[in-house]
Amino acid sequence: MTNTQKIADFIYHSSSIKIPEEVLNYGRLCLADWMSVSIGALTEDAARVVYDTTKENHQRGKSNLLLGGVADALTAALCNGTLAHCLDFDDTHIKSNTHTSAPLWAATLALGQEIDSTQEDILRAFIIGFEVSTRVGYGVGEIITEKGWHCTGIFGAIGSAAAACVLYKLDQAQIINALSTAATQAGGLTISFGTMAKPFHAGKAAFNGLLGAKLAKNGFVAQQDIFAIDGGFISALVQDKTAELTPVHFDEWELLNNSFKPYAACHLVHPAVDCVKKMLTQIHVHQIQQLRFEVGELAMQVTGNKSGKPQTPLAAKFDIRYCIALALKGADLMVKDFSEEAIQNLVTMNLTELVSVKASQEMGYTSAKLHCELKNGSIEIFEVTISKGHPGNPISWDDMKIKFNHLVDDQNLWGQIQFFGEKTPFALLSFFK
């Protein structure tokens, strides 16, 4: 059985799989995070532009738009998927380096509403889509990012297609065509990070995956072994052939390895921020002469070569020196800390002048080291091996509620999320305006 066939077989038989309560609970935690960051982004320009641009499709379906009204499922997936990634505050699967929930929940909810799926089926579809997305991307996310691709635009589309296949109850041949059609639309460039195009990648991934499933349902035929270990999919993304896809297996639940963001910035800056917070429990800012950070090579590539004086709120989320300076100031690194006013106020404090950053092969995605040189000449070292929110240092439902309350003022919604997918009387429409 080929890699592609194994994936299709898993999706096809997913209705008979017993999903553990722990995994169902993590799916709900992903939904809580998705709703938090989506509702918190309702005033973001990128989401508004996509919403306004698609207005001719509004009122043509029954899938809810978080910015108001209804549309066909494809339009809702595009709009809500973009919205969910606008704050760059959404969850991340590290081994595939993908913001999986942003496109996947957008596509799953949109199609679920369109075809009147139950909450139980929608939650199951999300979980199956998550497993497929992360298994295809497992172990190659970092190198694909280094090559300039945004993994969310790639693996998010594949997961969205998988979830749609579950809801549509497609056969194995249709599933292969749906996944292949989603994969052939792979796109999203890291050069767009810090602009409106980055959240658009998530919306387009939701759209592309859902479109792939809809086409396959109607007879569209695509490449039959798109996920061959060293085949055309991975060799197109990594053209020097330094990476192969990991052979898929579904004997563990990868959803339990998902990571959630405590800070509204690129996940790669979080270890350095945690180092600062650890340092500030022992040292006052006024004692500091210089701060020298060691971070992972990918963190340096994506966030390190910046001035510390970003020109826009989006750019600030990808500037590690700015984020470190926020932490030095005692900020929570929530959405308000990335406004134009906040940027201007912080720049005038010159805290970034204390900070230098370099890449270290000893550091990875979740780790960082801080050498703090004090004005008295002494040096203190602080290291974080697993930053907050990752497996090994996870956030709890209580932590998520703090994040939710920061972004959303609706405690009734919070209660409904916690029970989503159970046999309860909660209506799906209660999640939307």
pLDDT digits (tens, 9 = 90+) for 372-389: 999 999 999 999 999 999
Q: Which of 216, 228, 148, 215 is nearest to 186 (CA)?
A: 148
Q: How far apart are CA 417 and CA 90, in angstroms?
A: 16
- Give residue 421's pLDDT: 62
Q: Check if CATH label 3.20.20.140 holds for domain 3-262+391-431.
A: no
Q: Do domains 3-262+391-431 and 267-384 have the same CATH topology?
A: no
HEC profile of the chain? CCHHHHHHHHHHCHHHCCCCHHHHHHHHHHHHHHHHHHHCCCCCHHHHHHHHHCHHHEEEEEEECCCCCEECHHHHHHHHHHHHHCCCCCCEECCCCECCHHHHHHHHHHHHHHCCCCHHHHHHHHHHHHHHHHHHHCCCHHHHHHCCECHHHHHHHHHHHHHHHHHHCCCHHHHHHHHHHHHCCCCCEHHHCCCCHHHHHHHHHHHHHHHHHHHHHCCCCCCCCCCCCCCHHHHHHCCCCCCCCCCCCCCCCHHHHEECCCCCCCHHHHHHHHHHHHHHCCCCHHHEEEEEEEECHHHHHHHHCCCCCCCCHHHHCCCHHHHHHHHHHCCCCCHHHHCHHHHHHHHCCCHHHHEEEEECCCCCCCCEEEEEEECCCCEEEEEECCCCCECCECCCHHHHHHHHHHHCCCHHHHHHHHCCCCCCCCCHHHHCC
- Give residue 348's pLDDT: 66
- Give residue 432's pLDDT: 42
- The radius of gyration of the chain from alpha carbons, rounded to an integer in Å, stands at 21
Residue-range domain boundaries for the chain: 3-262+391-431, 267-384
Q: How far apart are CA 229 and CA 227, in angstroms?
A: 6
- Give residue 419's pLDDT: 63
Instruction: Mark the ranges of the chain whose per-residue pLDDT is less than 70.
Output: 347-348, 410-412, 415-416, 418-433
Q: Check if CATH label 3.30.1330.120 holds for domain 267-384.
A: yes
Evaluate whether 7 touches 138 at the Cβ level (below 8 Å). no
Evaluate whether 76 touches 65 at the Cβ level (below 8 Å). yes
DSSP-derived pairing of the beta strands 288-295 and 355-359: parallel
Sign of the alpha-carbon dihedral angle for 86, 227, 243, 360: positive
- Give residue 410's pLDDT: 66
Evaluate whether 167 touches 123 at the Cβ level (below 8 Å). no
- Give residue 414's pLDDT: 72
Could you tell me how many residues make up the chain? Answer: 433
| CB contact set of 4 (below 8 Å; sequence gap of 6+) | 176, 179, 180, 224, 225, 226, 227, 228
Report the alpha-carbon angle 265-267-270, nearest 5.
Answer: 85
Counting residues of the chain whose pLDDT is more than 90, the rounded percentage is: 83
Q: Is 59 exposed, middle or buried (0-12, 13-18, 19+ CB in 10 A)?
A: exposed
- Give residue 125's pLDDT: 98
Q: How far apart are CA 249 and CA 19, in angstroms?
A: 16
**Residue type at position 118:** T
Q: How far apart are CA 213 and CA 202, in angstroms?
A: 17
Q: Which of 40, 88, 42 is nearest to 313 (CA)?
A: 88
- For residue 237, how far is the Cα from the chain centroid? 20
Structure tokens at 87: 């704050």
The residue with tokens 């066909």 is 72
Q: How far apart are CA 22 and CA 304, in angstroms?
A: 37
